[in-house]
Structure 1
Amino acid sequence: MHCYDCAQEGRTDRTGIGACARCGLFTCADHSRITRTTVQRPVGVIPMTSAVQARRLVCGACRTAEVA
């Protein structure tokens, strides 16, 4: 798969490293942003929050929208 943002710029030489967790488009290392997210899992009826945060890959456009 190729990076969507690079393809929009006319570049087809960049391979995507993963899919954006928000919009699902493939993105390369230059257009990706790695963020941290809290993980909760059910323990009985109460959700428990993990002490360790998980990684989450998002594209630049989605990251900009998230922090705007």
Structure 2
Amino acid sequence: MSRWSRPLTPHRSLCRLPCRHAAVTDATRRNSRRPRVRPRPRRERSAALNCYDCQTHDQPTTAVATCSACGAGICHDHARAVPHTLHRLTGMGVATKPRTARRLLCGTCAAAETSA
């Protein structure tokens, strides 16, 4: 039997020349598994976000929210809840939603928005 008349394996059908590569079987797939990778150690959580206004007065207090205008951390004492009217794009008719949403601001941003 000549080397060109042999039945072609999946690998040989691609290269068309006799080669030394063995056909991949289920046994070789099982033996060539990747080694297990150890899971990464968990990092410790970083410190909690502190209230910016309390931090300026050297009283570290954990923040419960962030200001929607400037992004500073605010505690329960410094948070200002301001109603926010929601708008939607429509052709004719009412363009505002009937209920208002809550918007949390720090004291500085709340005073700046209400000033004339």
Report deviation, 1:19. 0.7
**Equivalent in 69, 79, 90 of residue 32 of structure 1:** 79
State the percentage of identical aligned residues. Answer: 38
User: Please, what is the CA RMSD of the aligned residues?
Assistant: 1.9
Structure 2 residues without counterparts, runs of 5 or longer: 1-48
When the two structures are superposed, what TM-score results if normalisation uses the length of structure 2? Answer: 0.52
C-alpha separation in 1, matches of 2:80 and 2:114: 12
C-alpha separation in 2, matches of 1:64 and 1:22: 12
Greater share of strand: 1
The 8 Å contact of residues 40 and 47 in structure 1, kept in 2 or not, is answered as: no
The equivalent residue for 2:100 is 53
The equivalent residue for 1:10 is 58
Moved over 6 A (4+): none
Structure 1 residues without counterparts, runs of 5 or longer: none
Select the structure of larger CA radius of gyration: 2
Number of residue pairs matched by the alignment: 67
When the two structures are superposed, what TM-score results if normalisation uses the length of structure 1? Answer: 0.85
